[in-house]
Amino acid sequence: MLQTAAERRNALAGGAVGLAAILLFIGIAAISLAASGGGSTFAGIISDPYILRVLRFTLLQAVISTLLSVLLALPVARALARQPNFPGRIWIIRLMAVPMGLPVLIGALGLIGIWGRQGLLNTALLKLGLSEPVSIYGLTGILLAHVFFNLPLACRLMLAGLERLPSEYWLMASNLGMRPRAVFRFIEWPAIRGLIPGISGLIFMLCATSFTLVLTLGGGPAATTIEVAIYQSLRFDFDPGRAVALSLLQIALTGLILGAMSFLPASRDEGLTAGRHSMRFDGRMPMAKLSDGLLLALATAFLISPLLSVLVAGLRADLPKLVGEPVFWQAAAMSCGISLSAATLALVVSAALIRARQTISADKRSKRGSRALYAAIGGASSMVLLAPPVVLATGWFMALRPFGDASVFAPVLVVLINMLMALPFVMRVLEPAYLVHQRRTARLSASLGITGQARLRLIDWPGLRKPLLTALSFAMALSLGDLGAVAMFGSDSFVTLPWLVYSRMGSYRTNDADGLALILGVICLLLTIAGTSGQVRGHGADDGR
């Protein structure tokens, strides 16, 4: 063992405290839901025709969204893999990273700008004599939005699987004169087939727990998911019993999804490709170049048009007037404070959990209790997905009602909920980097007797600075653009930038909403770019992701 007894005790204590804090926060929310009468009304409410319709729609839109995202991503990934020298290929791959760092509300606004009643597409069709043939509200809009956000993720993961294939495969296929159908059947499909279950499970989970997109584009009771129904039960109907029962139903649903996902092969961590070239010969034929080029152009137009719509609409707004409003600075200060606090807490908790796991794994004589702690910490990052932000907010709302106005505690609750939501990503970024760093520096540090604050300052911080800043920037971007937890507590005294955008949309001040959306989107994208830049520079050195 390279750790001293004190270091080992501190590491295990830190991991235990971090895990206990997560369990306590989620447990109090769950217990308050069960104690608020949810158990007695749960059996009756699941037989309610409206609730059954909401449950069916939640599953239906998630299934269709997953199928569309995966099926449409497959040909786009193949086209990117077959055309390594396509003009602007690396920028197309980078463009596919934008929706993953873009606040959901901003993406929804961009889609409305293209596909909405006054959008670019309907305006063009009206000139052709057709009367608003495209409606973005309802199931159509939800599916469109889910494809916009999830197709790039699926495409990048599939592309990574194709790029991992040895160059000898393509040389052999060329020597054998294999046609495109044979190449897909014998080379590409076997590489992608193992990735599809994990990709589909991830996308299904994201779509089944979707809140902001459905709230913005749902279009009424006919297109409502469980999370939106929870929000409506508390914010509009103030029916705590129904909200509690719906929350328990949502926990049961996400639990079933997570259980099913545990049996699926997970997509590999290196799935987010950097776009390296492969030696391929099957994409050099004129017809292949033409079809692939057309497909990539359509995919690029689909992804970039909502972003351009947000940019153009935002620039048309009176930005100086919006920035000069006191409510903007109130919302900006609240958003920055929440995002920085949530991201910092996520880093601290993740560091404690990762250090404890590494300590246990390094000890070959670990006892049964230590091994149980190791397994529990490993499941902590997935466990937070069991209770989505709206459900956690509902549970804590019910827990705090006896103490007065629950909105008084809103900033602290939103920080903690956003910290939990960022935890899986932060751990995924930091844990591989920490393990590599330990392998490189642990023996030298032990031989020199460098421990405690001196090790942190002289060895750990220089070696882990880039992955730490990457995780911090992405966690801040995720928290800054979140509307799920804020939606339960948003008011005149508690305003964040996403809530301000949503409230301006609700009051039909779309010009102001567009300008605020542009400001929020630029801030989040700058944070995402900063994190990606640090990741790319450090990728070859420490394999941090």
Distance, CA of 325 to CA of 96 (rounded, Å): 34
Distance, CA of 141 to CA of 108 (rounded, Å): 9
Full set of structural domains in the chain with CATH: 1-37+317-545 (1.10.3720.10), 48-305 (1.10.3720.10)
List, as one string, the DSSP characters of 41-93: HHHHHTT-HHHHHHHHHHHHHHHHHHHHHHHHHHHHHHHHHH-TT-TTHHHHH
Cβ contacts of 328 within 8 Å, gap of 6 or more: 322, 500, 516
Residue 237, pLDDT > 50, answer yes
List, as one string, the DSSP characters of 323-353: HHSHHHHHHHHHHHHHHHHHHHHHHHHHHHH
Three-state helix/strand/coil letters over 411-442? HHHHHHHHHHHHHHHHHHHHHHHHHHHHHHHH
Residue 304, pLDDT > 90, answer yes
Q: Determine if residue 219 is left, alpha or beta; phi over 0 gives left, psi from -120 to 50 gives alpha, anything else beta.
A: left
Looking at this protein, which amino acid is placed at residue 418?
Answer: N
Reported as a single tens digit per residue, the pLDDT across 257-298 is 877 776 765 444 444 444 445 566 666 777 778 888 899 999
Distance, CA of 294 to CA of 292 (rounded, Å): 5
Alpha helix stretches (DSSP H) within 449-490: 452-455, 461-480, 484-487
Distance, CA of 190 to CA of 187 (rounded, Å): 6
Reported as a single tens digit per residue, the pLDDT across 405-460 is 777 888 899 999 999 988 888 888 888 888 887 777 777 777 777 776 777 777 77
Please, what is the average pLDDT of the chain?
81
Distance, CA of 41 to CA of 116 (rounded, Å): 39
Reported as a single tens digit per residue, the pLDDT across 479-513 is 888 887 788 777 778 889 899 998 888 787 888 88
Distance, CA of 63 to CA of 523 (rounded, Å): 33
Rg for the chain, CA atoms, rounded: 24
Distance, CA of 220 to CA of 222 (rounded, Å): 6
Higher pLDDT: 76 or 98? It is: 76
pTM, full prediction = 0.81
Nearest-CA neighbor of 378 among 112, 6, 19, 17?
Answer: 19
Reported as a single tens digit per residue, the pLDDT across 196-225 is 888 898 899 889 888 888 888 876 777 888
Three-state helix/strand/coil letters over 250-263? HHHHHHHHHHHHCC
Distance, CA of 368 to CA of 284 (rounded, Å): 58
Other residues' Cβ atoms within 10 Å of the Cβ of residue 279: 12
List, as one string, the DSSP characters of 370-387: HHHHHHHHHHHHHHGGGS
Q: What is the pLDDT of residue 415?
A: 93
Looking at this protein, which amino acid is placed at residue 375?
Answer: A
Percent of the chain past pLDDT 90, that is, above it, reads: 18
Q: Provide mean pLDDT across the span 330-339.
A: 92
Q: Provide mean pLDDT across the span 389-400.
A: 85
Nearest-CA neighbor of 498 among 485, 483, 479?
Answer: 483
Cβ contacts of 309 within 8 Å, gap of 6 or more: 109, 110, 111, 113, 114, 119, 120
Report yes or no: 207 and 66 within 8 Å, Cβ to Cβ: yes
